[in-house]
Amino acid sequence: MYQAADDRYESMTYRRVGRSGLVLPALSLGLWHNFGDDVAFQNQRDIVRRAFDLGITHFDLANNYGPPPGSAETNFGRLLREDLHPYRDELVISTKAGWGMHPGPYGGPGGSRKYLLASLDASLKRMGLDYVDIFYSHRPDASTPLEETIGALDTAVRSGRALYAGISSYSAADTARASALAKDLGTPLLIHQPSYSMVNRWIESDDLLDTTGSEGLGVIAFSPLAQGLLTDKYLGGVPDDSRAGKATPSFKDGFLSEDNLERIRGLNEIAAARGQSLAQMALSWALRDDRVSSLVIGSSRVSQLEHNVAALDADPLSTEELRAIDEFAID
Ligand code: NDP
């Protein structure tokens, strides 16, 4: 029987999410990789237990996480049932719909009311939950009126299937439109989930944080380590047990181009000079603006998680360090 650590709230930092009453841990755990049926369940259990013991209260899922799609939610459902059930009120669990989930015209990709609400019901069933804390439109869908997608999020909240609504990967302009629609419906959006890292800075050129800030949304950035690229693991070749080594389709060959590796080497030296690993500096950097409420990280093993959480103890980056980083942190 799992008993959560008594000191689990003693060292984690929690940040407010936009203009809401909710706070999230500075680091949240994502279950996109490492929680499908391709990974030993015991490893999944070790990571989730350790995360919660370290004060990570937020677990981020989506309908299609696996493989196969849906299995991450099924496996997390088992962990909830067997381990975390007594702690449900201490957890913020999110799921999403928008990418492809099942065959046929109603299984995505897309943002229709039909797809989103049926998918949310299926996610709740897989996880054995009555409600999720956050339900996201996983991606913008230009072929569905935004009114319909945001209306489906409003229904999800009003029907009690979700406490809050979010959007992911929406541009600043679409975010402003989505936020206005949601406010009109009486279900203001809680949060935006964009990709963001030292090698993926689109949210800066799009001024997304200005829009989310003025609309009152929080931001939780995904893949802050660029799927592992922003660590020292690829500097000496490609380890077999890494995401790149396993030839995961999401980790594109081009990520390990000589240009990128050159940047990684430069960043690695800056990190070493301040006594951090590159992974830790990448997290400190992505958290430097407090309009970023949380980062959603992945971990294939407990040691990575512990190492990454230790980044929260580091001194903030100085102006000089930020300037040095800018020379290499180019997307
Ligand atoms: P990261 O950028 O944090 O990459 C995580 C991977 O990097 C790990 O699985 C591990 O890969 C490697 N890694 C992590 N820490 C270390 C370390 N200290 N040293 C060496 N290697 C390390 O995030 P992900 O790309 O996994 O995405 C995180 C979450 O974001 C997802 O689970 C999901 O919840 C969310 N997400 C949302 C999307 C959206 O559209 N909204 C899209 C993508 C992700 P390994 O050991 O296997 O090499």
Q: Nearest to residue 18, comparing CAs of 191, 207, 184? A: 191
Alpha-carbon distances, residue 224 vs 28, 152, 289, 324 (angstroms): 11, 29, 14, 19
Q: What is the pLDDT of residue 253?
A: 76
Residue 233 belongs to a domain? no
Alpha-carbon distances, residue 277 vs 127, 212, 284 (angstroms): 35, 30, 11
Q: What is the pLDDT of residue 34?
A: 97
Residue 27 belongs to a domain? yes
Q: Nearest to residue 274, comparing CAs of 222, 325, 209, 212? A: 325
Extract the residue ranges of the chain whose pLDDT is less than 50: none
* Nearest-CA residue for atom 22 of ligand 1: 228
Residue 208 belongs to a domain? yes
What is the residue whose two structure tokens read 């030839």? 247
Residues with CB under 6 A from ligand 1: 30-34, 60, 138, 168-169, 193, 222-228, 231, 233, 242-243, 279, 296-300, 304, 307-308
pTM above 0.80, yes or no: yes
Q: What is the pLDDT of residue 316?
A: 96
Q: Please report, for the domain that includes residue 36, its CATH number.
A: 3.20.20.100
Instruction: Give residues with Cβ within 8 angstroms of 321, minimum separation 6.
Output: 270, 274
Residue 276 belongs to a domain? no
Residue 135 belongs to a domain? yes
Residue 300 belongs to a domain? yes
- Pocket probe for ligand 1: among 227, 246, 268, 308, the residue whose CB has the most ligand atoms within 8 Å is 227
ipTM: 0.99
Q: What is the pLDDT of residue 230?
A: 97
Q: Do the Cβ atoms of 99 and 139 come closer than 8 Å?
A: yes
Q: Do the Cβ atoms of 262 and 307 come closer than 8 Å?
A: no
Residue 5 belongs to a domain? no
Residue 283 in tokens? 């997290």
Question: Which DSSP string do the residues of 296-326 spell out, in sequence order?
Answer: EE--SSHHHHHHHHGGGGSPPPPHHHHHHHH
| Total of domains in the chain | 1
Residue 36 belongs to a domain? yes
CA 262 to ligand 1 centroid distance, Å = 21
Question: Which DSSP string do the residues of 55-95 spell out, in sequence order?
Answer: T--EEE--TT-TTTTTHHHHHHHHHIIIIIGGGGGG-EEEE
Three-state secondary-structure class, residue 9:
coil
Q: Is the dihedral of CA 168, 310, 314, 244 positive or negative?
A: negative
Q: What is the pLDDT of residue 101?
A: 96
Three-state secondary-structure class, residue 29:
strand
SS (HEC) of 145-209: CHHHHHHHHHHHHHCCCEEEEEEECCCHHHHHHHHHHHHHHCCCCCEEECECECCECHHHHCCHH
- Domain residues for the domain of 180 are 14-227+283-316
- Pocket probe for ligand 1: among 294, 300, 306, 312, the residue whose CB has the most ligand atoms within 8 Å is 300
Q: What is the pLDDT of residue 250?
A: 85
